[in-house]
Chain A
Amino acid sequence: MTLAIDIRHRLGSFPLDARFETGSGLIALFGRSGSGKTSIINIIAGLIRPEQGRVTIGDTVLVDTARGIFVPRHRRRIGYVFQEGRLFPHLTVRQNLLYGRWFAPQPAARDDLDRVVDLLGIGSVLERRPGRLSGGEKQRVAIGRALLASPRLLLMDEPLASLDEARKAEILPYIERLRDQTRVPIVYVSHSIAEVTRLASTLVLLSEGKVAAVGPTAEIMHRLDLFPLTGRAEAGAVVEARVERHDERFALTELRSRAGLWRLPRLDVPVGARLRLRVRARDVMLAKSAPTDLSALNVLPGTVADISARDGPIVEVRLDCGGEALIARLTRYSVDRLGLTAGTPVFALVKSVALDRRSLSGPMQAERSADAEANDM
């Protein structure tokens, strides 16, 4: 199902002028706060009427100002998970979950409730009222409530923003399962690069009400020219890898990617599992010759592909390591001293301990055992 947006709307300090098209999977709207992310999904949901433009999902036209079409929000069948949950305080969790069923054209079947309750792990709180739930539980109930209204599209507006790190870690695996197990496309608004790289297949990068770039997540993340927008401090490369083996003696896990072999602190993941590794640019060092007598375990050969604009003390260098992109942040002085230019062969060095669990995403999160959970604390 294709979501196509082409809108112009006046917002406080800047005009919103956004146009993009995306396929299925999880689409992230990414940008600083105030870049127009929430306004866009409010327009998709029908909470804001745009001054001009079109919004379509598949063949269904939701908004077309030229033809005077504006489908009211309750006829759009678009699930919305709000940042603050917005559960109904006068209803129990079960009643909240089933609220949308009263109005759905084909009411969700009884086993749908069981399936969603199971997917989100909220079976034990069904008879409680929202006032007695933790922040993480509230957010999971809000996700379930939106899902059970049988939406054709699910909007999530920074669903983790109001939660602390532990609660975020609790919910992220559920969103991954949602992405992988339901066929509902998801539009996910976030200003956290970590969440976006972990979850999104497509990235829409917004800046001051305009679309700066659209494309597959890794591709956007690797574009040095977009670093001012994607956020320099947390910027990095996304590497697809497969679990090759576990080294029980030193409690390490070896991952194989096109760039080479990665060693990480032991992960509780079956051999063969595929996962995504986020390698932050600031954790990558470069050497011109293969280093010896070195503590860093990850040494990956490659060539310099691109160097970001050379002003200021710091520059980003994009590498091509066997077809996989890596990004290193260096001082301009080092780049000059090593004489790095496009095509220079180099070795990228990454400390294993810089690659912790937070830089990973993939199916393994769902299979984590209780003691891995405990180690995490």
Chain B
Amino acid sequence: MDWMTLSPEEWTAVRLSLKVALVATLVSLPFGVAVATALARGRFWGHSLLNGFVLLPLILPPVVTGYVLLILFGRRGPVGSFLADHLGIVFSFRWTGAALACGVMGFPLMVRAIRLSIEAVDMRLEEAAGTLGASRAWVFLTVTLPLIVPGIITGMILCFAKAMGEFGATITFVSNIPGETQTLPSAIYTFTQVPGGDAGALRLTLVSVAIAMLALLASELMARSANRRLDIE
């Protein structure tokens, strides 16, 4: 069973992937909820434009998305240099860049799931909360948000899964540096490019399958308990 044991380098790739996907999902979440709310409820100029912009990474080749990120968020890119100079956040060739790429790729999936659940919320409940004295912000926090928890969970799982599997945009934006930006897919890709790398590729593939299964199970359990709380028979 020796071939089943992960080498330290492989462990690093697994840990890095989990970290990148988790950070990408958690940081995207508040933006995801905000954009989904705006798209579901807002009536403003540029509504379709925002919708298209959010969905773009889903349709573009990942390499294109990665290249756009490189132009914008690279060390000399307009956004990248600003963030590096003023906030000390550097994306290029760092794991943070991988997280950004994964987050951007997972964002449309997250927004879609949350938006659908917001559209399913009965606005008459929100009206009722208003007549009971709750301002719009309180209505959102005490009525809308609890009712869309299942949608938020689904959105987070989808985003996490996308982030775990993201390859093209990440490798284009931050390359494939072991220990810094080499996530599971990049590591598997590297193994397939060297002679005798088959065993390593297989090990990491099994790890990927296991993580995906766990994520699905967890989402199933969470969605079930959320639905039970809402008493949906």
Contact = CB atoms under 8 A, between A and B. Distances in A.
Q: Do A and B come from one complex?
A: yes
Nearest to B125: A86
Contact of B131 (A80, A88, A102, A104): A80
Interface of A: 45-47, 72-80, 82, 84, 86, 88-90, 99-100, 102-104, 129-132, 145-146, 149
Interface in B207-233: 229-233
A131 B231 contact: yes
B153 to A, nearest CB: 14
B124 interface: yes
Interface string B122-149: 1011011111111110110011001100
Given A88-B125, A130-B231, A78 B143 contact: no
Q: Give the interface centre of B130, B143, B147, B233 by most chain A CB atoms within 10 Å.
A: B130
A279 B124 CA distance: 39
Given A86-B125, A88-B125, A73 B231 contact: no
A89 B230 contact: yes
Q: Give the interface centre of A76, A89, A130 by most chain B CB atoms within 10 Å.
A: A89
A74 B139 CA distance: 10
Main secondary structure on B side of the interface with A: helix
Chain B: interface size category: 20 to 34
A103 B131 contact: no
A261 B189 CA distance: 99
A100 B133 contact: yes
A88 B131 CA distance: 13
Given A103-B138, A131-B232, A90 B146 contact: yes
B127 to A, nearest CB: 6
Contacts of A74: 130-136, 138-139
26 contacts: A47-B127, A47-B131, A74-B131, A74-B133, A75-B133, A76-B131, A86-B125, A86-B127, A86-B128, A88-B128, A88-B129, A90-B143, A90-B146, A90-B147, A90-B229, A90-B230, A100-B133, A102-B133, A103-B132, A103-B133, A103-B135, A129-B231, A131-B230, A145-B132, A146-B132, A149-B132
Contacts of A99: 129, 132, 134, 142
B228 to A, nearest CB: 10
B233 A131 contact: yes
Given A88-B125, A100-B132, 4 more contacts: A74-B133, A102-B142, A104-B133, A131-B231
Contacts of A130: 231
Contacts of B142: 99, 102
B231 A132 contact: yes
Given A89-B230, A130-B231, A149 B128 contact: no
Contacts of B132: 74, 79, 99-100, 103, 145-146, 149
Contacts of A131: 230-233
A80 B231 contact: no
B128 A82 contact: yes
Contacts of B232: 89, 131
Contact of A89 (B136, B138, B147): B147
Nearest to B143: A88
A100 B143 CA distance: 12
Contacts of B124: 82, 84, 86
